Chain A
């Protein structure tokens, strides 16, 4: 079945440091890939997405590139801020049918 593996946290960085959170996936077909963020006490918010190989998703200084050859979608940011402290989830879905759920990784806490 489909699954997502992301690096275990917590990740602790100084302000303005470079951030990488690794994410790899297993899928039977051609999934769409997502990063979601959960700030303390809040719900999940979409951070960025990529729907096909070599696509780069970007938002708020975060980037991730869909790498089919390595089945990866690593999240990066060049200079983190205190306000980026949150839990980050990598996720995938296959197809655009209404009944297709998102499958999440275990989440990585950034502080």
Chain B
């Protein structure tokens, strides 16, 4: 079945530095990938929709200059948290959609990245 690999699974960084998170679709091509942030009380917030070869679409309230998204190929999207601050500490999850997969309606999730900013 469809597999999405997300890396790293955990990262600790200092305030003011930038962190890049990768999301790869391993056995299918994804023209669209999604980035979510999971808060401590578990709710999943859609941050942005990443489109291959074009600019990402950000949800209201998400700072596009802080959360840089690049989707340079059909199998890779990256999220870079720039000038990270402790309030950016969270669990980030990517999802890719294989529209040819009718069994799950095509959404496959990465295993998530736990970001801690100290």
A→B interface (CB under 8 Å): 32, 34, 36, 42-46, 49, 51, 87, 89, 93, 96-107, 109
Contacts and interface: CB of A to CB of B under 8 A. Distances in A.
Contacts of A107: 41-44
A10 to B, nearest CB: 10
List of 9 A-B pairs having minimum Cβ-Cβ separation, nearest first: A107-B42, A43-B111, A106-B43, A104-B44, A44-B109, A98-B32, A46-B104, A101-B34, A43-B109
B25 interface: no
B19 interface: no
Given A98-B31, A98-B99, A49 B112 contact: no
Task: Give chain B's interface secondary structure class.
Answer: strand
Interface of B: 6, 31-32, 34, 36, 41-44, 46, 49, 51, 57, 93, 95, 97, 99, 104-107, 109-112
Nearest to B46: A101
A88 B78 CA distance: 27
16 contacts: A43-B93, A43-B111, A46-B105, A49-B104, A49-B105, A96-B99, A98-B31, A101-B46, A101-B49, A102-B95, A103-B46, A104-B46, A106-B41, A106-B43, A107-B41, A109-B42
Contacts of A104: 36, 43-44, 46
A99 B59 CA distance: 13
Q: Quick one: which of A43, A96, A105 has the most chain B CB within 10 A?
A: A43
Given A51-B105, A101-B34, 13 more contacts: A34-B107, A42-B111, A43-B6, A93-B105, A96-B99, A98-B32, A98-B97, A100-B97, A102-B95, A103-B46, A107-B41, A107-B42, A107-B44
Contact of B51 (A32, A43, A46, A99): A99
